[in-house]
């Protein structure tokens, strides 16, 4: 994903004066007894476009799973405006889940349902809206992501980029305060990635949402990101956190600067074997 300079300058300014929207405190995550990341400490402000970044295999998606309630932490906590999902009662958990929207790499649409039915599903399950109100909301959400009039289309009739936009329309059906993206530009060409960046900014403004994105796409990270955390696979912890553009210029961690300049990808030519 990538955005132009003029577009990145119009993004919402995060609110850094109030209580952090999300606080991650001494968090260790993993599977069973195997820790993937240890002692994570960072905050996300309201209206941040927050990137979880780092090399392959460092635990970015594992962190996302823990933040959306799919993977209990080994230790530590993630607080959403002071509330811990994993220690909350069932009613409070449901209210938290309803305030989140989650998109996946493929869109994760139900193939047997039309786009309109996919977007309507959370409205039918978690609201008391009438059928007419649901239909109006579905039309608005699809229009917001550039799919006006596509209610009767099925996922098999969509391109890859349209799949992702339809998945986003479903994710924002309940007007979430918090949006999670897992590698949203995976499989997209540069132009489609640019449009998706623009769409994320547009949705963030329209819904007054905070966004968390797992990604390694530098054009997106540096153009629309307002905050970030860098995870390291070798040390199994975070190396730095902050505005990606500031980290690029001022991070004290060489790995972080290398990642943000793609220096780590500059490999030496492979010599042919003479044996």
Asked, for residue 126, whether it belongs to a domain, the answer is yes
pLDDT in tens, 154-206: 999 988 888 888 999 999 999 999 999 998 887 778 888 888 888 888 888 88
Mean pLDDT of the chain: 87
Place of tokens 């994993």: 86
Q: Read out DSSP for 120-187? A: HHHHHHH----HHHHHHHHHHHHHHTT-TT-TT--GGGS-HHHHHHHHHHHHTTT--SEEEEESTTTT
pLDDT band at 274 (very low <50, low <70, confident <90, very high): very low
pLDDT at 15: 58
Interval 221-250: pLDDT, tens: 999 999 999 999 999 999 999 999 999 999
Position with higher pLDDT, 18 vs 108: 108
Q: The whole model's pTM is what?
A: 0.85
In a domain, 273, yes or no: no
Name the residue range of residue 170's domain.
5-13+45-61+98-260
Quick one: which H or E segment has residue 166? helix 160-171
Residue 127 lies in a domain: yes
**Average pLDDT for 28-55:** 95
| Greater pLDDT, 264 or 232 | 232
Any domain includes 185: yes
- Please state the rounded mean pLDDT for residues 92-114: 88
pLDDT (0 to 100) of residue 272:
42
User: Is residue 40 included in any domain, yes or no?
Assistant: no
Model pLDDT for residues 116-137, shown as the tens digit of each residue: 999 999 999 999 999 999 999 9
Q: For position 162, what pLDDT does the model report?
A: 87
Q: What local confidence, expressed as pLDDT, does residue 17 receive?
A: 55
Average of pLDDT values for 61-66? Answer: 96
Residue 9 lies in a domain: yes
The answer as to whether 198 is a domain residue is yes
Residue 106 has pLDDT above 80, yes or no: no
**In this structure, is residue 246 part of a structural domain?**
yes
Residue 50: which CATH number?
3.40.50.300
Per-residue model confidence as pLDDT tens digits over 5-28: 444 444 455 555 567 899 999 999
| 263 pLDDT more than 50 | no
**Domain count within the chain:** 1
- Residues 260 and 255: their CA atoms lie apart, in Å, by 9
Query: For residues 52 and 12, what is the distance between their CA atoms, to the nearest angstrom?
Result: 19
């Amino acid at each position: 994903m990538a955005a132009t300079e003029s577009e990145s300058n119009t993004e919402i300014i995060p609110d850094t004066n109030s209580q952090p929207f999300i606080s991650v405190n001494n968090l260790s995550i993993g599977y069973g007894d195997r820790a993937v990341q240890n002692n994570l400490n960072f905050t996300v402000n309201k209206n941040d476009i927050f990137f979880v970044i780092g090399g392959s295999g460092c635990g970015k998606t594992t962190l996302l799973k823990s933040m959306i309630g799919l993977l209990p932490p080994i230790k530590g906590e993630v607080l959403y405006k002071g509330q811990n999902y994993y220690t909350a009662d069932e009613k409070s958990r449901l209210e938290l889940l309803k305030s989140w929207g989650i998109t996946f790499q493929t869109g994760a649409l139900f193939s047997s349902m039309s786009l309109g039915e996919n977007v309507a599903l959370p409205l039918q399950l978690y609201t008391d809206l009438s059928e007419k109100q649901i239909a109006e909301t579905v039309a608005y959400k699809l229009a917001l992501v550039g799919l006006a009039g596509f209610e009767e289309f099925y996922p098999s009739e969509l391109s890859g980029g349209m799949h992702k936009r339809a998945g986003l329309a479903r994710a924002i059906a309940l007007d979430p305060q918090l949006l999670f993206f897992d590698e949203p530009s995976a499989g997209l060409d540069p132009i489609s990635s640019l449009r998706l960046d623009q769409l994320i900014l547009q949705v963030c403004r329209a819904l007054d949402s905070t966004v968390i994105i797992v990604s390694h796409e530098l054009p997106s990270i540096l153009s629309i990101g307002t905050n970030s955390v860098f995870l390291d696979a070798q040390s199994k912890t975070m190396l730095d956190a902050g505005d990606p553009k500031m980290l690029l210029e001022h991070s004290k961690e060489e790995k972080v600067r290398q990642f943000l300049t793609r220096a780590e990808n500059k490999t030496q030519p492979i010599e042919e074997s003479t044996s």
